[in-house]
Chain A
Amino acid sequence: MLEIRDLQAGIEGKEILKGLSLSVPCGEVHAIMGPNGAGKSTLSYVLAGRPGYAVSQGSVTLDGKDLLALSPEERAAAGVFLAFQYPVEIAGVTNMNFLKTALNAVRRARGEGELDAMQMLKLLRGKAKDIGMSEDMLKRAVNVGFSGGEKKRNEVLQMAVLEPRLCVLDETDSGLDIDALRVVAEGVNALRSPDRSMLVITHYQRLLDYIKPDRVHVLAAGRIERSGGPELALELEEKGYGEVKKGRLA
């Protein structure tokens, strides 16, 4: 489903991704691990089309469609969802209104017709409940004054509402307490489906205990250095990136 070939991309003239290739088949969950500054968030931004990130070479397709040719909102409509490492605050816009505007925008773009106020309210209440978020949070301004964990939970709520085809989760587990981690992971697991793929960026094996990945990749220095099954994450936890990298070279 997601095909990344020889991707080279950077920001402000600095090359960060240096020939990255990766394919995530339909229905699979792939984990991406790698040291700080390796380019994991950069990859997520390039997939989502963040302005300022320039692609100098390579291709990215989703279901054969050229993602790089689409605007960020067209990618969202095509089903790309990015759970941000650092979710953004929007003062004065309630979570409810934000979700409503976003869902109706993608529904329009997908030719599905908008939901009316009642349908929307019902849907949002249900989804918030699933992810263990109080209705109170729906009435507050988007991420304003949210704790770190609440922000991450809010990302998963948005993901559940927008029903994307490709979920990219950038360190959604960072900053979560043990219980929140479980709830969020359950939320993510509930979204696993044969026609949805996920790219889970994380530093911790702990998350992968809850969200069992089909494949694990190590991203270092702008490239996929190694790929393997779930056991690769355990190996990383034990030996660290340096050792694993050596192991590959040996």
Chain B
Amino acid sequence: MGAEVVSPSKIDESLISEPYKYGFVTDIETETAPKGLSEETVRYISAKKNEPEWLLQKRLEAYRAWLAMTPPDWAKVSFPPIDYQDAHYYAAPKKKEGPKSLDEVDPELLKTYEKLGIPLREQEILAGVTPSVAVDAVFDSVSVATTYKKVLQEKGVIFCSLSEAIHDHPDLVKKYLGSVVPAHDNFYAALNAAVFTEGSFVYVPKGVRCPMELSTYFRINAANTGQFERTLIIADDGAYVSYLEGCTAPKRDEHQLHAAVVELVAHDRAEIKYATVQNWYPGDENGVGGIYNFVTKRGLCRGVASKISWTQVETGSAITWKYPSCVLQGDGSVGAFYSVAITNNCQQADTGTKMIHLGKNTRSTIISKGISAGRSQATYRGLVKIARTAHGARNKTQCDSLLIGDQCGAHTFPTIEQRDPTARVEHEATTSKVSEEQLFYCQQRGLSAEDAMALIVNGFCREVMQELPMEFAVEAQKLIGLSLEGSVG
């Protein structure tokens, strides 16, 4: 044979010995709101952002509504009550003025994003070749940079931070903000409406196909800080946009709250594809630290034959509470939810979707893949609602759970409310285990146990992974492998 034999598992050690490689902290001076939540805090944030009066009033309304609300208790997750007075609600890297161009962005921040693998420097645009992704980078409470704005502007596409949109496109923001997820929707949405600090704004005008993937990258850096971003995407008649959201946070021993709101509006024949690769710090193997990811995402298919799809790969967070939904109002509109949720160690995920069929001949597809390892708990919770008006509506739901080891749990809670007899709703659910036989088969062909597990799990998730934009599919596959670290053997 001659050649020296090296264990393939050794080669990957560098990757595997560092399961959460985004756990570093950027050393940068930050300006932080005093701890605690009050009307004062809300006013402080609004003033910091130099907001118009109408928005401050909206925030205060939301804050008062929130005071009267209680956190939802129906999810299959458990954690000690959160002390909302013990966190900061605003943190921003110190700077003189908002950066006008990339050259003005703090080099320390540019380095951070480089380390995270997020391209913040625009590549030179060659004749006729459009770059494939534009990025808006949000660091703690502020947007630090948005790339390729010019190229997008030529097409009439607005892609900027929400704060900028509030100043530059107030009519659009006023018209749509809170129109899909109103402040009183739920406890976390109300909290967000009161103290949201940043997010992305997208508007694609009539008949325009957005020429590149749009992407927002959220990073929590400061300690004891909640992140409350708010994203608003509008696709006007016949428009098309594909959007990706990514997120990471440093390793910290305290839990940090992330309560975001995302609103999508699709007009006649418009299509919005929204993908998330969620990799917030999940906590350590004993459940110390990690992000509480309590998020409200909803899309409104307002126009006829409009389409909205949610694709999510959820690998991070200590606790995930998240149900990206579609309200299918326009006749013939189409909603989809494709989800991979992986939990390992002590993670808990309660995630799923709601498909609300209002219009005639509306269609929805749900594919949910839950993978649980370690001592984790993964729950799928779904609602398919067919209103009396939704003649000829169709839904197809497929829920698959995969268990790794015997200390984890997978649960499925599908709810169907059908008011129209002509609608057709199909639901299928399976639960399986990664078999010792499959692992051995792969190992016999030369794969390490970890690589074998990653391959099998990626295979299990295939239908969902193929919905991700090409640019991110490979990353997401690697992420699945990394988040299963320690689950074999």
Q: Which positions in A face B, CB cutoff 8 Å?
A: 48-52, 62-63, 65, 70-82, 84, 87-93, 97-98, 101-103, 105-106, 108-112, 141, 158, 162, 165
Contact = CB atoms under 8 A, between A and B. Distances in A.
A48 B444 CA distance: 7
B443 A71 contact: yes
Contact of A73 (B435, B438, B448, B455): B448
Interface string B434-447: 01111011111111
A92 B461 contact: yes
A101 to B, nearest CB: 6
Contacts of A87: 441
Nearest to B463: A92
Contact of B436 (A52, A76, A106, A158): A52
Q: Which of B4, B7, B435, B463 has the most chain A CB within a 10 Å cutoff?
A: B7
Interface in B455-489: 455-456, 458-463
Contacts, number: 114
A73 B437 contact: no
Contacts of B1: 62-63, 65, 78-79, 165
Given A48-B444, A98-B445, A105 B451 contact: yes
Secondary structure call for the A interface: mixed
Contacts of B459: 90-93, 141
Given A88-B437, A165-B1, A158 B445 contact: yes
Contact of A92 (B443, B444, B460): B460
A216 to B, nearest CB: 25
A62 B451 CA distance: 25
A93 B7 contact: no
A168 B445 CA distance: 13
A65 B441 CA distance: 22
Contacts of A52: 436
Interface string B1-16: 1011111110100000
A109 to B, nearest CB: 5
B7 A76 contact: no
A102 B461 contact: no
Nearest to A62: B1
30 contacts: A51-B436, A65-B5, A70-B5, A71-B443, A72-B440, A73-B9, A76-B443, A77-B6, A78-B1, A78-B5, A81-B444, A84-B444, A88-B435, A92-B460, A92-B461, A92-B462, A92-B463, A93-B456, A93-B459, A97-B455, A98-B455, A101-B455, A102-B447, A105-B8, A105-B447, A110-B5, A111-B4, A112-B3, A162-B445, A162-B446
B452 to A, nearest CB: 8
A51 B7 contact: no
Q: Which of A49, A110, A141, A158 has the most chain B CB within a 10 Å cutoff?
A: A110
B8 A108 contact: yes
B438 A88 contact: yes
Nearest to A89: B438
Nearest to A144: B459
Contacts of B461: 92
B426 to A, nearest CB: 20
A45 to B, nearest CB: 8
A101 B451 contact: yes
Nearest to A73: B443
B456 A111 contact: no
A158 B441 CA distance: 12
A77 B459 CA distance: 23
A25 to B, nearest CB: 15
A167 to B, nearest CB: 12
Interface string B282-308: 000000000000000000000000000
Contacts of A84: 441, 444
Contacts of B462: 92-93
A84 B9 CA distance: 24
A109 B4 CA distance: 8
